[in-house]
Structure 1
Amino acid sequence: MKKVLIITYYWPPSGGPGVQRWLKFVKYLRGYGIEAVVYVPENPSYPIIDKSLEEEIPEGIRVIRKKIFEPYSIAGIFSKKDTETISAGIIQKEENQSALQKAMLYIRGNYFIPDARKFWISPSVKFLKKEIEDGHYHAIITTGPPHSLHLIGLKLKQALAVKWIADFRDPWTQIGYHEKLKLNDSSRKKHEKLEEQVLNAADHIITTSFTTKEEFSSKTSQPVTVITNGFDTEINRNNSTKKQFEIAHIGSLLSGRNPDSLWKALQELIKNNKDFKDYFRLRLAGKVSDEVLGSIRKYDLQHFLENEGYVNHARAVKLQREASVLLLLEIDSEETRGIIPGKIFEYLAANKPILAIGPKNWDAEKIISKTNAGKVFSYADASEIKHHIESLFRKYLKNEQMSTSHNLEQYHRKSLTEDLANLIKQV
């Protein structure tokens, strides 16, 4: 049995999609002859807590913990709400930012490079050197964001010549929110230099998207492999629906993911179709920005809204399977083409039609098209979105099957872990 050390910031009781990837890999790696040891912060500042995920940690897994200094805990003294939203990645448009928010973003972007967890790098390297030397590890794996963890891997690689796999759940310098961090030229160059060092030093690089693979392959000659996120539940074969025609978005809904065209289409359908008005419900579950809620009120949709706030993972899965249509949104920009939201895979398992709105040439479109799981639109496609919802609603009224997806098993976490295990053994 080969042994690997996984260095991650997000681990139960952290909630949200960031923790799911490696929690599930750890769950299945033993079945492929690999024993995982997990290194995490002892006192992290998680923006979302979901204690139910602690029950999913495999029995007997060794978890090593080391204290971390969290600047967000100090920033919270000045504004707990602003600190939590920025930490969670919810950044408002500049014209809606307070002076305090602008200052916090500038400090975060230019003084905490690559991110606010940079203070965990040196203590972790010092601590892990002995662990790796004594532990007979086949390889170490770092996963980011936060990308500070890749610098832990870089320094361990330089010190010990250990085999190292760098897993990128998101891009680095091309990540969507970088432009909002008010980076000066010097800070931008520091990010680019650190990214270059990591990409050229790692023995293998994993990305979760095809676009990020293309980007990294243009920057390094090291091997780059796509292993997407996935689902870990049975595929839903129950096509029964609620009494309402419910369009649901499960997960954080940031300011940039605010589809004016969708809200407009829904308003028109409500106005012109009495049956739609009687049956329609909009359900949101997760952190939702004030700007999104403002747009919903602007189009007079608040009367049809069920806003649950953050829910634990079990509740999220239940809501996905109860919905009539699942809404998938991504920021409309060139930088977000390579973002495949983790929720898409649980949406696939829910086996309900996906209504996706995002950038042109979006990686998520490849998955939705490959599995015939729904339709993808741009933010400008108000008329097409309206007609598609009308079509789905007609099927709903006739009690016809709305989802015709197929080939979903390839995205099960167990299947994806087999790909990971083969990669680890080859490093």
Structure 2
Amino acid sequence: MEKVLFISYFAPPEEHIGALRVSKFLKYLPQYGYQPYILAGGHISSNTPFVFRPRYLDPYLIGKEIYKNLYSKKNDQVYYDLEKIYTKYNMPKGLFPLSEVRMPDKFLAWILPAVILGMKLLNKEKFDLIYSSSGPPSSAIVASILQRYSGLPWIAEFRDLWSDNHHDLRKTIIHNIDNWIERQTLKNCNALVTVSEPLKETLERKYSKPVYVIYNGYDEEDYPQDVPLTNKFTITYTGKIYIGRQDITPLFKAVKSLYMRGLITQDLFQIRFWGDDGNYIKTLAKKHDIEKFVFYGGRIFYMDSLLKQKESWMLLLIGWKGHLAEGVLTGKLFDYLGAQRPILYIGEIGGEAQRILEDTGMGKFLSKYEDIENFLINCIDKYLKSDRMLGFIGPNENLIKYSRRYNAKILSRIFDYFT
């Protein structure tokens, strides 16, 4: 069994999307001859096999916890000024706030303790390869230092781009410094991995190194079986909505039109949101006068979110705004594919997510509210006729290549080339 030193700040048992990705590599790579040893961060105590965390005090995490306990107030009656929110979220930032995907990295305090523990692991075990998963960028920085220390081949994965990140925009001088740090860090890596073809193309233009795509995926073993569908025609969204970057207005406009035309009732139709940003959802629902059709359930555990997906008639995917969104493939898309329920994808640009939905036959991309309205009318008609898949083809062999097991197999072949 070959040994791989995986460097990822996020790791099991966390429910962060980065930790979930790493946990599935930990689960499936041994089936293809590679045992990951995960060097992780954070103030987490766990006995997860093959996961190693240094003991250290992180000022950011301590400050975050103090703020949460003393100042964080939740008031479900507060409604946001949406225009101010959109302006705020779309303005390039300076040095602050700290970031999870680029510099200045929230988790810089992890670097030195991680390097020290990484050196101990390298001295104790005979590793064949180093693999890092970012963000945060500190994962790549730790890997770069340990590669120089060990001389091992290093493959750097970016779930999100570093200085070219679509979500965290920074002012020009900060961006240029960040870009320089990124290039210096990656000088000694042998190859790059990312999660979509457009992001791969961005990295290929920037670096003269091999770049591979390993999608996020779904794990068929995570989903409950024989789950009955809800009585109502239920559209479900699970996870965080990035205010100012994702826009659900076209859907709400379509629902309002259906309501005004008398085509839906509370007993028939519901949109459910499970995750953060309840006040934002309520603000938009109130603005469109469709509060009676919108349910907000708050944050739930990952496995519970899969159950909510399985019992829904339709799942909602919201695209990112702007041209930078073309390469964004959220983990949510693959969770939805694993739930094997029809997917409504709304946004400005279909991009690769649209291609995957067309490849699997599991969903539809729409951008105009009029088209969404007509689509919902058609789906509700099929719901009333008890068509469980609402006219979509349902589970098929094309889904397999988006599974976690299949992705681990592809990654193992990349490892074969460099070991």
> Could you tell me how far apart the structure 1 residues matched to 2:103 and 2:309 are?
37
1:186 positional shift: 3.0
1:359 positional shift: 3.5
Matching residue of 1:154 = 144
> Could you tell me how far apart the structure 2 residues matched to 1:391 and 1:239 are?
24
TM-score by length of 1: 0.85
Q: 1:221 to 1:68 in 2, by over 3 A?
A: farther
Q: Which of 411, 416, 419 pairs up with 1:425? A: 416
Matched, 1:22 2:16: no
Secondary structure at 2:348 match in 1: coil
Matched, 1:246 2:234: yes
Secondary structure at 2:317 match in 1: strand
1:411 positional shift: 1.3
Matching residue of 2:129 = 139
> Could you tell me how far apart the structure 1 residues matched to 2:64 and 2:228 are?
47
8 Å Cα contact 1:254-1:292 kept in structure 2: no
1:242 positional shift: 1.8
Letter in 2 for 1:24: K
> Could you tell me how far apart the structure 1 residues matched to 2:62 and 2:265 are?
47
8 Å Cα contact 1:37-1:64 kept in structure 2: no
> Could you tell me how far apart the structure 2 residues matched to 1:409 and 1:282 are?
29
Matched, 1:358 2:347: yes
1:92-120, Cα deviation, whole Å (9 max, x unpaired): 97834999xx9x9753359x934111222
1:2-47, Cα deviation, whole Å (9 max, x unpaired): 0011111112332232221010110011111111111112516xxx
Matched, 1:205 2:192: yes
> Could you tell me how far apart the structure 1 residues matched to 2:284 and 2:408 are?
40
Secondary structure at 1:173 match in 2: coil
Q: 1:64 to 1:311 in 2, by over 3 A?
A: same
1:258-313, Cα deviation, whole Å (9 max, x unpaired): 32111010111122134455300111111125333311111122212221111112
Alignment of 1:385-396 (within 5 A): 385-396=372-383
8 Å Cα contact 1:229-1:342 kept in structure 2: yes
Letter in 1 for 2:292: H
Letter in 2 for 1:340: L
Q: 1:332 to 1:211 in 2, by over 3 A?
A: same
Query: Which structure 2 residue ranges, 5 or more long, are not aligned?
Result: 75-80
Alignment of 1:167-186 (within 5 A): 167-179=157-169, 183-186=170-173
> Could you tell me how far apart the structure 2 residues matched to 1:424 and 1:108 are?
36
Q: CA RMSD in A?
A: 3.0
8 Å Cα contact 2:28-2:405 kept in structure 1: yes
Matching residue of 1:47 = none
Secondary structure at 2:96 match in 1: helix
Secondary structure at 2:31 match in 1: helix
8 Å Cα contact 1:258-1:292 kept in structure 2: no
Spell out structure 1 runs of 4+ moving beyond 6 A: 81-85
8 Å Cα contact 1:271-1:277 kept in structure 2: no
Q: 1:114 to 1:371 in 2, by over 3 A?
A: same
Query: Which structure 1 residue ranges, 5 or more long, are not aligned?
Result: 45-50, 86-91
> Could you tell me how far apart the structure 2 residues matched to 1:148 and 1:81 are?
29
Alignment of 1:10-409 (within 5 A): 10-43=10-43, 60-75=49-64, 77-78=66-67, 95-96=84-85, 106-109=95-98, 113-179=103-169, 183-233=170-220, 241-255=229-243, 256-288=245-277, 290-378=279-367, 381-400=368-387, 401-402=389-390, 403-405=392-394, 406=396, 407-409=398-400
> Could you tell me how far apart the structure 1 residues matched to 2:117 and 2:370 are?
58
> Could you tell me how far apart the structure 1 residues matched to 2:316 and 2:375 are?
13
8 Å Cα contact 1:200-1:220 kept in structure 2: no
Q: Percent identity?
A: 25
Letter in 2 for 1:171: L
> Could you tell me how far apart the structure 2 residues matched to 1:385 and 1:274 are?
14
Letter in 1 for 2:155: I
8 Å Cα contact 1:9-1:40 kept in structure 2: yes
8 Å Cα contact 1:326-1:355 kept in structure 2: yes
Secondary structure at 2:267 match in 1: helix
8 Å Cα contact 1:205-1:225 kept in structure 2: yes
Q: 1:125 to 1:236 in 2, by over 3 A?
A: closer
The count of corresponding residues between Structure 1 and Structure 2 is 402
> Could you tell me how far apart the structure 2 residues matched to 1:75 and 1:313 are?
23
